[in-house]
Amino acid sequence: MKLPEIPTDPLNHGQQQSQSASLSAQKISVAYGTHLAVNGVDLDAHGGQIGAIIGANGCGKSTFLRALARLVKPQGGTVILNGHDIAKLPTKRVATQLGILPQSPIAPDGITVFDLVSRGRYPYHRFGSHWSRQDQDAVEHALEVTHMSDFADRSVDQLSGGQRQRAWIALTLAQDTDIVLLDEPTTYLDVAYQLEVLDLLADLNAIDGIIIIMVIHDINLAARYADWILAMKDGTCDTFGTPSEVITPDVIRRVFGMDVRIIQDPESKTPMIIADSRHALGPKREILEKEKL
């Protein structure tokens, strides 16, 4: 599904601004009690890139993403946001440089799309400050580029799954940051909505140069949309590189414990996995043929 063309940014948020943005992690380790969920993971992301973090359930993907956003405190290592140690930055300064969309966020009952997206402007407000023209422009632009302007007055409760996810992405965009982190943005969406959301993110990256880093389960979608992929296993970085470097039979076997064949995605020309399965049609074909006799 192809989204309509994103309109020109009236606030002049462009590639030149975002290309200088950067986010890096140096030997990040995070523990929950005695369990080491993330162990010494590095990352280096710059403007104009889309990155994907993949791995089996429980490998530490979401925890690592939360550490990048300072939502959990690492036991070791440093996150550098635009050249500064994120742990030493004021919270509002972090929120004006980096936005995060967690997995399955919950909106307050009855809140409208406009009011939800407006919450992205909170980092720019002090106690007693008033809603400004810049705030209004930022929210309207976020609604426009996510194609949610027509739903501004509608309750979030009344939206479809894809519309709701676009509303949350609009909130993150209204925050006006050069770096956006997303934890499984396509979870619970059918295939059409998955492509709709990922096409939107790709368009925003291409036009505004926003750094996008997402945790994603679908390996083939990661390969199709990402410039680089971090494959995690047991809290560590197993492999980091381009889709062609990461999406290989050996890496997938180590990380996911399954055998695959790699073909070329006919749409994007990127690597595409075909998983071996004991339930594939091949073993059943003989049974089906016998039933016809």
Looking at residue 48, what is its pLDDT?
A: 83
Mind listing the pLDDT tens digit for each residue in 18-54? 568 999 999 999 999 999 999 999 999 987 899 999 9
**Contact present, 259 and 253 (Cβ < 8 Å):** yes
| pLDDT at residue 17 is higher than 60 | no
User: Is the CB of residue 184 less than 8 Å from the CB of residue 103?
Assistant: yes
Integer angstrom CA distances of residue 212 from 99, 169, 180, 234: 10, 12, 5, 24
The whole-number average pLDDT for the span 111-129 is: 91
pLDDT for 130 equals 86
Please report, rounded to a whole number, the percentage of residues in the chain having pLDDT higher than 70. Answer: 88
pLDDT at 47: 76
**Per-residue model confidence (pLDDT) at position 15:** 44
Q: Using CA atoms, how far apart are residues 274 and 59, in angstroms rounded to an integer?
A: 22
User: Considering the chain, what is the average pLDDT of its residues?
Assistant: 89
Domain with CATH 3.40.50.300 in the chain: 21-97+178-243
Instruction: Tell me which amino acid residue 214 is.
Output: M
Superfamily of 21-97+178-243 according to CATH: P-loop containing nucleotide triphosphate hydrolases (3.40.50.300)
Q: Can you tell me which residue has the tokens 């992405």? A: 169
Distance CA 117, CA 102 (A): 15
Rounded CA-CA distance 94/92 in Å is: 5
> pLDDT category, 3, cuts 50, 70, 90?
very low
Residues forming a β-bridge with 155: 112
pLDDT digits (tens, 9 = 90+) for 57-87: 999 999 999 999 999 999 999 999 999 999 9
Q: What is the predicted pLDDT for the residue at 192? A: 86
Average pLDDT over residues 208-217: 94
Q: Are 236 and 39 in contact (CB under 8 A)?
A: yes
User: What DSSP letter does each residue of the chain carry, written as one string?
Assistant: -PPPPPPP-TT---HHHHTT-EEEEEEEEEEETTEEEEEEEEEEEETT-EEEEEESTTSSHHHHHHHHTTSS--SEEEEEETTEEGGGS-HHHHHTTEEEE-SS--PPTT-BHHHHHHGGGGGG--TT----HHHHHHHHHHHHHTT-GGGTTSBGGGS-HHHHHHHHHHHHHHT--SEEEEESTTTT--HHHHHHHHHHHHHHHHHH--EEEEE-S-HHHHHHH-SEEEEEETTEEEEEE-HHHHSSHHHHHHHHS--EEEEE-TTT-SEEEEE--TTSHHHHHHHHHHHH-
Enter the tokens of residue 222.
């990661």
- From the list 233, 215, 237, 236, the residue with the least C-alpha distance to 39 is 236
Strands 236-241 and 228-233, sheet pairing: antiparallel
Q: What is the pTM of this model?
A: 0.85
| pLDDT class of 278 with cuts at 50, 70, 90 | low
The answer to whether the beta carbons of residues 86 and 79 sit under 8 Å apart is: yes
Residue 4 tokens read as 């309509």
Does the pLDDT value for residue 161 go beyond 70?
Answer: yes
Residues 6+ apart with CB under 8 A from 91: none
